[in-house]
Chain A
Amino acid sequence: MLVLLTVHLIAAMLAPPLVRWLGLRAFSVLALVPAAGLGWALTHTAAMREGRAVAEVYPWAGRLGLELAFRMTTLSWLMVLLVGGVGALALVYCGRYFTAAEPGSGRFAGVFVGFAGAMLGLIVSDNLIVLYVFWELTTVFSYLLIGHDPSSRAARRAALQALIVTTLGGLAMLVGVIMLGEHAGTYRWSQVVGALPDGGYLAVAVILLLLGALSKSAIFPFSFWLPAAMAAPTPVSAYLHAAAMVKAGVFLVALLGPALADAASWRPTVLIAGTVTLLFGGWTALRQHDLKLLLAYGTVSQLGLLVVVLGAGFRDAALAGAMMLLAHAMFKAALFFVVGIIDHTTGTRDLRELSGLRRSAPALWVVTVLAAASMAGVPPLAGFVGKEAIFEAFLHGGRWEQLVLAGVVSGSALTVAYTLRFLWGAFSDKPAVAPRTVHRVSWAFLAPAALLAAGGLVAGLGAAPLDGLLAGYAGLYSDEGGYHLAVWHGLTPALALSALVLAAGAAVFGLTLRTRWWRRLRLPMDGATGYERSADGLGRLAVEVTGATQRGSLPVYLGTILLVLVVLGGGALVAGRPWPGRFHLWDNPLQLVPAAVLVVAAVFATRARRRLAAVVLVGVTGYATAVLFVLHGAPDLALTQFLVETCTMVMFVLVLRRLPGHFSVRPLVASRRIRVAIGIAVGAVVSGLAYVATAGRQATAISTAFGEPAVSYGGGRNIVNVTLVDIRAWDTMGEISVLLVAAIGVASMVFGGSPRLLRPRRPPPPTPPRGQVWLMAGHTLDAGLRSPILEVVTRLVFHTIVLFSVYLLFAGHNAPGGGFAGGLVVGLALVLRYLAGGRHELDAAAPVDAGAVLGTGLFIALGTGLTAMFLGGEVLQSALLDWHLPVLGHVHFVTSTFFDVGVYLVVIGVILNILRSLGAEIDRHEQAERVAAEARPEEELV
């Protein structure tokens, strides 16, 4: 079975190219795939007759109770025949139904075959979870098939509606499946059967499972989606909405019935919902003018009948239901095919516009009559055999069964009536309507319908051998029913009922032709209105909730978040009183000086009106922080903070030179007060939290034990650096990756194209003279922008600074420094070169691509980590190497130094990238703007 499913999958993927290559003939080729399913099932007929199941199990995720368990019993065998046979015929029919110019026919073919595969999987799955997966797959494929014409709004709506309704039911079903599976400890249905729960638990599980089944099979109150889904192309209606997908729900009812029919909630749900659907569908079908909609409501009605019969829960009903299932698939698909042919040849499906088809298309008429007679239950066709078996089964029951029988008889009479309406509407001569002439319907177009209609005759006449096969399913019920399927049982009460049904149906049809009052009878409420109302209500609710919460203003969002912090954090502080009283004013009185500077600068930074002033004030807080680091005993931090703060200032200035000097004036004093109030509240709460958290700390810091291993394992005396490159190297790895991403982001933000960005022709770049040039600026910068002293000094110290950075890098393991600090120093050297000599000077100083530097850095860092792994250690583990070299003497080396080299390169790459983006590229924008501005007055003069 796995092979068959795989074949379907492959065929579905190959379908689009195949259709492109072979055109419409490809459909006939693809029809071989479902036909293979049919053929495979036929080879197992003998096993079915003997009542043996065909099973395959493949392990999947065993611990989750998942395995690809397939199992074909009589019921699934019957379904495979239908799905494979009708699928193949529908595909053949597609080849005639579509024209070569049909858009999207390749996709359609793929989805169609995919659906056939999903349906096959659903039927043969033994594992309920796998069944659920296939179940939802059919829903998705059905969505794609109903919405085949994406330009039609009706098709889109119908597709979405069908998707939502069946998915909701499917989710309920999943819960039911899980309830049963968890109780039984396995999800294999053949084993779950033996370990069922009882009482209320079972009743709830049954209701949930039935919700899935009933919504899938368009049973009241979910019936509305099926008629709407008729927006799909006719082959889809014939296959999905007559033979296959809507039968999935019926199939589930039939599958679960033998085990669950005695649960308290089963029979009331199934019988009431089914009977209501049977009557409602039949009645509504009588009102339709569109032949396809007439059939659709007829299908709804018949599905109701099938659910009633297969869910009734005793042997004879099950046998009758299986026969009816077979009969319905054949006659309904055939009739849909006929409607497609009529639509195709006359251009309409409206029975008020069709006339005289009986004479102009006699072959079509014969086929239709054959199929329709089976639908109405005329002997000796399959429909008759099924109906009679149903009557017989319910005749011998209790009061419930008698009630259901009354419903079934009325429903069957309605079926006869709408069958007549169909025949009359499509084919009869109507005096008021001009007769339609139909060109010869090609045999190949008619053949699928003819085959299915003939199948109904064969199945009816061959009822006796079928009885032997289908009894295998009916035998799952333990009660002693002795009914056998046959065309002729003699003069029985059931035969009388059949005759009554035919007569009553004809009478009802005659009545509908003459009077009109009956049209006003409808159900007070149907599922469609409920669906519309709940969809509208959900939309309204979403709009109100979104409108109330998403105000679209960033300050409001941030303010809300921060207020939550104040309320929760502050609340916790208040609740946690009394606070621990241990504190000291300072560790070192010198701390007061930077602290005071910092406080003053921070307060003034919030009040500054000029951008540059604000930037400088914030920079001051950064430097003051660095001093606090020094005083706290953290030289590495102080070094890094100094360097970073300088870089940040340069970056700000590079960008701010393009922005207006002052902040835009914001006149609202009130909003400013609110901001300040929130700020002070947050500051107070954070201070409080900091105090309480620090004062309440009891445990010893984990890092007190870092010293010894830092030397013995990490090979370095600077514990901070060893922590970075060894103990917590993963953190550092993550960090440099983030830096890389940020650098890419900066570049894309500045270099990224946009219609509004200035992209005039590049002004010709100033060509530096050949050969060695010591100062690029002499040839590339305006004399007014130059500062030769700065240029020369920069040029002189540049190499020294770079050398110093290398020292920092390697010394960092044992003294303050390291990859971060070293990289930042090189970065600052580059900043100097750029500031002194412009972007061409920068290119001369670093004639490499920033991306290459970044990539190399990350590669080295990662490579070091992976090398350690390949050598048998853990990722990023470091090793100590000691060599005794002839001249240099003893060399002590730690592999994590390579990691630090990677960090060093990444930092250099980031700063180089920032300079190229925020510096050089913005220069270019500015220059281009100036050129454009100069060009404009000239144009005006001309």
Chain B
Amino acid sequence: MSPNLVLVIVVGVLFAAGVTLLLERNLTRVILGITLLGNGVNLLILLGGAYGGPPIVGRTPEDEMSDPLTQAMILTAIVITLGMTAFLLAMAYRSWLLTGHDDVQDDVEDRRIMQRAERDQGLEDEDDPTTEGTPR
């Protein structure tokens, strides 16, 4: 199969822009990045199928049809993306409701473990403070 260069470039640009946004801390930007990546992936799948007329029997001769299988897959993907975007938006909204912003924060627990590693501590003293002071 010979690739269509225009689509190849468009896919690359969508991935580049999507990844740039995905790496942001702002949840709205992350969601937009995912939407861009979604479009990019859909076009990537489309690129893998044959170009042609609408795959409807009787309207297009069979050997001139575009590939229907890739289209069925993309159609599923489009609708799933809608559901996922809605879910992520609800998440961003809740984050805003709880913290007043929609930025993704660093994980506190991970930070704590990093501090332990810097201080060369083990896991031993991880017990709850109420039992500290009791002799081991």
Contact = CB atoms under 8 A, between A and B. Distances in A.
Contacts, number: 355
Interface string A611-631: 100110010011001001100
A186 interface: no
B89 A728 contact: no
Given A679-B15, A707-B55, A719-B65, 8 more contacts: A153-B127, A586-B5, A587-B51, A615-B32, A690-B3, A701-B50, A707-B62, A732-B76
Interface in A292-331: none
B104 A554 contact: yes
B76 A682 contact: no
Contacts of B51: 587-588, 632-633
B2 to A, nearest CB: 4
Contacts of A680: 16
Interface string B50-84: 11111111111010011111111111101111111
A743 interface: yes
22 contacts: A153-B134, A542-B123, A552-B106, A553-B106, A558-B23, A562-B19, A582-B3, A584-B5, A599-B10, A599-B13, A603-B13, A625-B43, A640-B75, A678-B20, A683-B12, A707-B62, A717-B59, A720-B75, A728-B69, A749-B87, A752-B94, A820-B79
Interface string A895-923: 00000000000010010001001100010
B28 to A, nearest CB: 6
Contacts of A656: 28
Give the most central of B36, B53, B101, B110: most A CB within 10 Å: B36
A625 B6 CA distance: 12
Contact of B65 (A539, A660, A690, A707): A707
A720 B42 contact: no
A724 B76 contact: yes
Contact of A676 (B20, B78, B80, B102): B20
A767 interface: no
A792 B10 CA distance: 42
A814 interface: yes
A554 B82 contact: no
A563 B32 CA distance: 21
Identify the 3 closest CB pairs spanning chains A and B, nearest first.
A683-B16, A547-B117, A552-B110
Interface of B: 1-26, 28-29, 32, 35-36, 39-40, 42-44, 46-60, 62, 65-76, 78-87, 89-94, 96-98, 101-104, 106-111, 113-114, 116-118, 120-124, 127, 131, 134
A686 B93 contact: no
Interface string A657-692: 011100110100000000110111011101100110
Interface string A729-747: 0011001001100110110
Interface string A534-559: 00100110111011101111110011
B12 A687 contact: yes
A633 B75 contact: no
Interface stretch (A409-417, A475-483, A641-649): A641-649
A694 B3 contact: yes
A710 interface: yes
A652 interface: yes
A739 B83 contact: yes
Given A644-B81, A686-B12, A707-B65, A633 B53 contact: yes
A161 to B, nearest CB: 12
A749 B83 CA distance: 14
Contacts of B106: 551-553
A435 to B, nearest CB: 31
Interface size class on chain A is: 35 or more
A865 to B, nearest CB: 17
Given A153-B134, A682-B16, A918 B93 contact: yes
B57 A707 contact: yes
Contact of A536 (B10, B26, B124): B124
Given A703-B67, A718-B55, A815-B56, A659 B85 contact: no
A583 interface: yes
Contacts of A676: 20
Interface string A908-942: 00100010011000100100000000000000000
A603 B86 contact: no
A732 B58 CA distance: 25
A641 B52 CA distance: 19
B69 A679 contact: no
Contacts of A548: 117
Contacts of B109: 552
A695 interface: yes
Interface in A27-42: none
Contacts of A554: 25, 104
A585 interface: yes
Given A550-B110, A551-B114, A554-B25, A742 B86 contact: yes
B18 to A, nearest CB: 8
A269 interface: no
Contacts of A625: 39, 42-43
Interface stretch (A70-78, A171-179, A590-598, A855-863): A590-598
Given A739-B83, A750-B94, A634 B71 contact: yes
A788 to B, nearest CB: 30
A746 B121 CA distance: 41
A816 interface: yes
B124 A658 contact: no
Contact of B3 (A682, A695, A910): A695
Contacts of B124: 536, 539
Contacts of A602: 13-14, 16-18, 36
Contacts of A540: 120-123
Given A618-B32, A815-B56, A742 B87 contact: yes
B17 A605 contact: yes
Contacts of B9: 595, 599, 687
Contact of B122 (A539, A647, A922): A539
B32 A690 contact: no
Contact of A719 (B13, B56, B96): B56
Nearest to A153: B131
A520 interface: no
B82 A647 contact: yes
A739 B76 CA distance: 10
A918 B90 contact: yes
A587 to B, nearest CB: 4
Contact of A690 (B11, B28, B72, B75): B11
A720 B72 contact: yes
A745 B87 contact: yes
Contacts of A686: 11-12, 15, 40, 44
Contacts of B7: 591, 595, 628, 690
Contact of A598 (B5, B14, B93, B116): B14
B61 to A, nearest CB: 10
